[in-house]
Structure 1
């Protein structure tokens, strides 16, 4: 998750985030300790579920397009914040390990500079041999700077692609990107951000996005389709995100999910946000008007 503007009134996601508690004060600190300590009581867990999914996606992409002379394609983590997804993808760590590290007593009294020095060693000692090159994009300059400083990101760009095109540096980085991941930003970023990124892509691009059931994804899926990607989702496979902060947030989420035609029993009605995984892959268009063809399992997003 990162700090992003609310969508404009012409976006289908407009208002979708209005009832969701904002944690803007923790997204752009010099280091992630406040982030983990604030979210721990709400059992924020979606990066844990994404860890295995993203690793399997990378394995599948290697099978579909073996690494070239420059190695594996780069992963771009959108709304990367302090580099959580990078930490879990490229290191032998769990989300519970990160909570213990940043919310525990051992790091409480350190300065940010001391924590950066500690984290350089912490992550280097746990680096996986199959680690991939990782680029992070987020509007939170302090958070991306931290992730870059401790070695979680190879490149970091604090840019708001809802308003401006990619910088020359980000455009160059996109030329090597083969997978875009996002776990907490859909609803704060829209199709504009994806259009900006895909416009600079040069490799066959895959996208994995975890999206709250309160937020529509259709407009983004249409933009991805315009760039040759077919988006599918398994409507029955859901991933918990976090506990609600209170009854008002829960009531808003339940109302939005029901308005979308989905059942909230045992899910949002039981006290948590839930997400779906939307997977976008290069694919051919279905000849029928308005239709797209994808894998045999999962619903195609129109």
Structure 2
């Protein structure tokens, strides 16, 4: 995820420096001590959603997915390859200071991911303001197309607009709060038919403005009410206190959730009404 601003209004620590490096090593090395794990949860959910969509749209293989705030293509790696988030930590956080230069790492990564690609892989378009991260993900084959554009500030380029025309699914694991309904609105202006949207959203952030926009676009948004998902540990007591204050301001209790020392995210799935009626949210997710 690449922040559109250097800080947030709920006291979240600033990791801006790790999101636009020449390769993913600093990103994984920095986040590993905080047990950053939301892509792991996204892997299970996004695979389940894409499997349902592929069955419903079997006349248009492969599935077309847009990953928002894609960074180094982490969600694409986990969706389309026989890999876990632990595998990625092991690969990128274990080099220390003696690892290969970025061009050599990219060469090795192309082979690494190619030999682990799943036969049912989706076509993934990555969108992130961090141009180096997007370039790396595209260069190693994780993204079929990558765009380093900031739709909070600007309209999509003609190239991005054309790429978005036939998308089936939009995914996001960490960007909402840095991106708003402005980004979603500009995306939906490009599509030929409303896609499904699967979003993990921190509980410190209201999804209501996005949900309202999607309702106007003809999508029904459901929130999974049976559980939340850990994102990462708080970096320090200040971040924890700021998070608790933000949640209290939203009328939310931390008991059984952020009280465990982690940020927690909620899952929202938006679909056309007919799709939502045909299969409840809880029915399409893994147990």
Do they superpose with TM above 0.5?
yes
- In structure 2, the partner of 1:9 is none
- In structure 2, the partner of 1:196 is 186
- Equivalent residue of 2:105, what SS? helix
- Equivalent residue of 2:241, what SS? helix
> Is 1:154–2:144 an aligned residue pair?
yes
Aligned equivalents of 1:247 and 1:266: distance in 2? 18
> Is 1:103–2:88 an aligned residue pair?
no
- Equivalent residue of 1:105, what SS? coil
CA deviation vs aligned residue, 1:49-93 (integer Å, no higher than 9, x gap): 00010000011112333232xx23310000000000000000000
User: Aligned pairs, how many?
Assistant: 281
* 1:296 shift after superposition: 6.0
Superposition CA RMSD, Å: 2.0
- In structure 2, the partner of 1:207 is 197
CA deviation vs aligned residue, 1:254-276 (integer Å, no higher than 9, x gap): 12223222221132122100000
- In structure 1, the partner of 2:16 is 24
Structure 2 gap segments, 5+ residues each: 283-287
State which drifts further: 137-146 or 199-208.
199-208
- In structure 2, the partner of 1:131 is 121
- Name the CA shift for 1:295/1:122 in 2 (closer, same or farther; >3 Å): closer
Q: How do 1:1-302 residues align onto structure 2 when only pairs under 5 Å count?
A: 1-5=1-5, 17-68=9-60, 71-105=61-95, 108-283=98-273
- Equivalent residue of 1:235, what SS? coil
- Equivalent residue of 2:224, what SS? strand
Verify the 8 A CA contact 2:269 2:281 in the aligned structure 1: no
* 1:107 shift after superposition: 8.5
CA deviation vs aligned residue, 1:88-115 (integer Å, no higher than 9, x gap): 0000000000000001138842100000
Structure 1 gap segments, 5+ residues each: 7-14, 285-291
- Name the CA shift for 1:16/1:167 in 2 (closer, same or farther; >3 Å): same
TM-score by length of 1: 0.88
- Equivalent residue of 1:177, what SS? coil
Aligned equivalents of 1:107 and 1:134: distance in 2? 32
Aligned equivalents of 2:24 and 2:34: distance in 1? 16
